[in-house]
Amino acid sequence: MAETRTKASVALLVPPMRSRKEDEVRRSASSEVTAAVDAAPEVPEIPEVPAVAGPAWRAGAVDDELIALYPDAVCALDHDGPFQLLVATVLSAQTTDARVNTVTPELFGRYPDATALGAARREDLEAILRPLGFQRAKAGHLLGIGQALTERFEGRVPRSREELVSLPGVGRKTANVVLGNAFGKPAITVDTHVGRLSRRLGWTMSKDPLRVEKDIAALWEPWRWTDGCHRLIEHGRRVCSARSPRCGECALLEAGLCPQAGV
């Protein structure tokens, strides 16, 4: 009796034998499933989308909006050629472009080229430049520029930043103005307007002009650099002023391109 129960228990533990046909059916079904899984297209990885678009995304769109607003934005300094632009830009320090434009007609009428400017009497230059302020320093710069251009560059304005900044009174900002507007070389001019708007737009956190220039260059294609700065300057003068920005009139804010309001 016990032997009978033991055999019955063993029978329960041993799985029933399958026929060869059943094994073939199972293997075929398993192969079909595996093939279907292998043939299924891979699901592409979905990139993470930032909750708020960063400055790199907005920078080009900002300039596109400004192109529509200020299609004719250009350098505000009246000039005819590289020499006049160089001189006018040096004179624009600590004053407005509009005020510079009031004195340059007389200045260039009396001193039309580098040779004439380098030979001018300091007292005469100071008298012409007095409305701009800092006339003594500016007269000294102009005399030095005229003489340097005559002696070192055959009276012509050099076309490289390194040579331009070697001239008296010429820094990187002035050099970039000349390169971009007189010679058509992409250059970023960081004045008070460009610096202020760049910080408000979130493009930079720096007040150092060179750092701001590099931050803008990292966001904008070179073809935007020169005229894009003119457009920023125009918007800074008309709308995004330093003390009381007119955010209610700002197309950038309306378009969702400015991260700040009432700054």
Whether 201 has a pLDDT exceeding 50, the answer reads yes
- Classify burial at 259, counting beta carbons within 10 Å of its beta carbon; exposed 0-12, middle 13-18, buried 19 or more: middle
Average pLDDT, the chain: 86
Range of the domain at 212: 55-73+188-255
The pLDDT of residue 13 is above 90: no
The pLDDT of residue 68: 97
**pLDDT band, very low/low/confident/very high, at 150 (cuts 50, 70, 90):** very high
21 pLDDT more than 60: no
Q: Is the distance from CB of 248 to CB of 209 less than 8 angstroms?
A: no
191 is catalytic: yes
SS3 content of the chain, % helix, strand, coil (to 5): 60, 0, 40
Surface-to-core class of residue 28, CB atoms within 10 Å of its CB (0-12 exposed, 13-18 middle, 19+ buried) = exposed
In a domain, 209, yes or no: yes
Measuring CA to CA, which residue among 234, 232, 248, 238 is closest to residue 200? 232
Residue 129 belongs to domain with CATH number = 1.10.340.30
User: Average pLDDT, stretch 50-54?
Assistant: 47
What share of the chain in percent tops pLDDT 70?
A: 77
63, 138, 173, 227: the active-site residue? 173
Amino acid identity, residue 246?
R
pLDDT at 9: 45
Confidence of residue 58 (pLDDT cuts 50, 70, 90): confident
Same domain, 150 and 227: no
**Residues 65 and 100 occupy one common structural domain:** no
Is residue 206 packed enough to be buried (19+ CB in 10 Å), middle (13-18) or exposed (0-12)?
A: middle
CA distance 53 to 212: 20
Q: Is the pLDDT of residue 92 over 80?
A: yes
Last residue of a domain, one of 152, 183, 214: 183
Report whether pLDDT(184) > 70: yes
The confidence score (pLDDT) of residue 98 equals: 97
Q: Is there a domain that residue 10 lies in?
A: no
Answer with the residue of higher pLDDT: 233 or 6. Answer: 233
Task: Clarify whether residues 217 and 148 are in a common domain.
Answer: no
Residue 153 lies in a domain: yes
Same domain, 117 and 61: no
- Segment 35-62 shows an average pLDDT of 53
90 inside domain: yes
DSSP output for 152-189: HSTTS--SSHHHHTTSTT--HHHHHHHHHHHS------
| 104, 174: one domain | yes
In the predicted structure, residue 133 carries a pLDDT above the cut 60: yes
Cβ(216)–Cβ(199) below 8 Å:
no
Please give the single-letter amino acid code of residue 41.
P
* Domain limit, last residue, from 183, 203, 235: 183
Q: Has residue 67 got a pLDDT over 60? A: yes
Q: Are residues 69 and 199 in the same domain?
A: yes
Q: Which of 78, 97, 113, 191 is catalytic?
A: 191
User: Do both 90 and 170 map to the same domain?
Assistant: yes
For the chain, counts of helices (H) and of strands (E): 14, 0
Amino acid at residue number 139: A
For range 217-238, the mean pLDDT: 97
Per the structure, how many domains does the chain have?
Answer: 2
| Last residue in a domain, options 148, 183, 218 | 183
pLDDT beyond 70 at 32 = no
Catalytic residue check, 215: no
Identify whether residues 177 and 250 lie together within a single domain: no
- Are residue 160 and residue 101 in the same domain, yes or no? yes
* Cα separation of the two ends of the chain: 98
Lowest mean pLDDT among 44-53, 61-70, 166-175, 226-235: 44-53
Q: Are 123 and 153 found together in one domain?
A: yes
pLDDT at 127 over 80: yes
58-62, 73-77, 143-147, 184-188: which range is least confident on average? 58-62
114 within 8 A of 155, measured Cβ to Cβ: yes
CA dist 247 → 53, 102, 220, 244 (Å): 20, 32, 24, 9
Q: Are residues 197 and 218 in the same domain?
A: yes
Q: Could you tell me the pTM of the whole model?
A: 0.77
